[in-house]
Amino acid sequence: MNKPLRRIAIFCGLLVLTLLIRDNWLQYVKADSLKDDQNNRRVTIARYSTPRGDIIVDGSPVTGSDENKRNGLNDLKYKRTYKNGPMWAPVTGYASQAFGANQLESIEDGILTGNDDRLFFRNTLDMITGKPRQGGNVVTTLNAAAQKAAYNGLKGRGKGAVVALEPSTGKILALASFPSYDPSAFAGNSNDDAAAWKKLQKKYNPDDPMLNRALRETYPPGSTFKVVTAAAALENGLYSSADQKTKTPLPWTMPGTTTELKNEGNIPCEDATMRIALRYSCNTVFGKIGSDLGNDKMLAEAKKFGFDAEQFTPVRSSASVFSDNMNPSQTALSSIGQYNTAATPLQMAMVASAVANNGKLMKPYMVDKLQSSTLDTIAQTDPEELSQPLSSENAQILQSMMETVVKDGTGKNAQISGVTVGGKTGTAQHGVANSENPYAWFISYAKVSDGSTPVAVAVVVEDQHANRGDISGGGLAAPIAKSVMEAVIDSKK
């Protein structure tokens, strides 16, 4: 072979080799990323070529699928539907042909579309028998009656959120956010869907209905945080009982300042016991406890309850905040739920749940199990202990204090006949120099006659239309918590 032909042959061989390498790179190395690429139209077509599996609550689906009306421009056969969409949106999220998916619809997309590797044998059998691929189901831990009570309680209150947990397991029983949205409104890819989506964006809707306030919004928790401060006092041996007098003068000036920490009204806070201080919500007592313990001990206790860490339920919850490197007066303010302290409703439900569960905090979760299309269980969530914020003995002391709040204090609106209820109210400052209507909080748990505690609840209400003087945790939030607790208790009968 002469030299020019040899060069051409070598060059052609290199081209062939390059093509083979490129082909193998695409088929084996880049296959998964190309398969999951949002711009891969074939993936989208395949995702909506069959009905999605369902998200299940109390044995019934809260989702569905409808066949699109074919119009030549729409090659996506099925679109998602939702039952009581606004009520369940904080749990399900959305699945939209035009705008993708989020929350459970996104996290469990493989199961719902039938593409998850764990469905391989089911899919192989269907292929052999000629059946179309079918999606599996996501079975949640939610309690339909509790969710309805939570959502209806928030209606007409402006904005807010409710989270209810089963203390012994961490199961999420209710997860409501208001205002909300209907995921069905933009499940397709038409001009109407695009218009509905636009109306829901914060840029065009300042109420931000697509914000999951139960998991993603952090609020100053106000006096509900005093439960964490009381736990820190007991765990660190500052006080050993609920009825031991605290060394709290009145007035009390915050260390390093000339500023007195004020209480709300003329209440008996001088040297008050922790029981009395929690009953009347004494800022001076719990501010001084935080200052006396110091930032490090308060931070350590807050972290045991879950602060400063994201939670995955499996939907991500924002991290609640208790700051580091604070001076004694800043620590005092943070210890009564102000200054930099901020918490999600999920976080404060976790606080109530840990106290109710004799000091043991269980990891919160909302997916009980995953099923194949034939209802075979392919994954089951087992309860998992997250931490032990306080000992059983100290938890029972704190329970007695919270039960006093509901029996004789600011939480009377949460009383339930024949049920022992423990709780703590909170009214947290909002806006620059507390210029806007404050947030109304209530955290609680219910203990039934057999000694079990089926539910712990956190409620926060942002009512911008209420008279400022009428806003209180006991007045606005406690009745909602009561209705949620009653719904859970009634569903157990």
Which residues carry out catalysis?
223
Distance CA 431, CA 437 (A): 8
Non-local (6+) Cβ contacts of 49 within 8 A are 76, 77, 78, 132
One-letter-per-residue 3-state SS of the chain: CCHHHHHHHHHHHHHHHHHHHHHHHHHHHCHHHHHHCCCCHHHHHHHCCCCCCCEEECCEECEEEEECCCCCCCCCCEEEEECCHHHHHHHHCCEECCCEECHHHHHCHHHHHCCCHHHHHHHHHHHHHCCCCCCCEEEECCCHHHHHHHHHHHCCCCEEEEEEECCCCCEEEEEEEECCCCHHHHCCCCHHHHHHHHHHCCCCCCCCCCCCCCCCCCECCHHHHHHHHHHHHHHCCCCCCCCCECCCCCCCECCCCCCECCCCCCCCCCCCEHHHHHHHCCHHHHHHHHHHHCHHHHHHHHHHCCCCCCEECCCEECCCECCCCCCHHHHHHHCCCCCCCEECHHHHHHHHHHHHCCCCEECCECEEEEECCCCCEEEECCCCEEECCCCHHHHHHHHHHHHHHHHHCCCHHHCECCEEEEEEEEEECCCHHHCCCCEEEEEEEEECCCCCCCEEEEEEEECCCCCHHHCCHHHHHHHHHHHHHHHHHHHHC
Q: Is the dihedral of CA 327, 333, 336, 342 positive or negative?
A: negative
Measuring CA to CA, which residue among 367, 324, 323 is closest to residue 343? 323
Amino acid at 255: P
Plot region of 368 (φ>0 → left; ψ -120 to 50 → alpha; else → beta): alpha
Non-local (6+) Cβ contacts of 125 within 8 A are none
Say how many residues make up the chain: 493
What's the gap between Cα 418 and its chain centre?
30
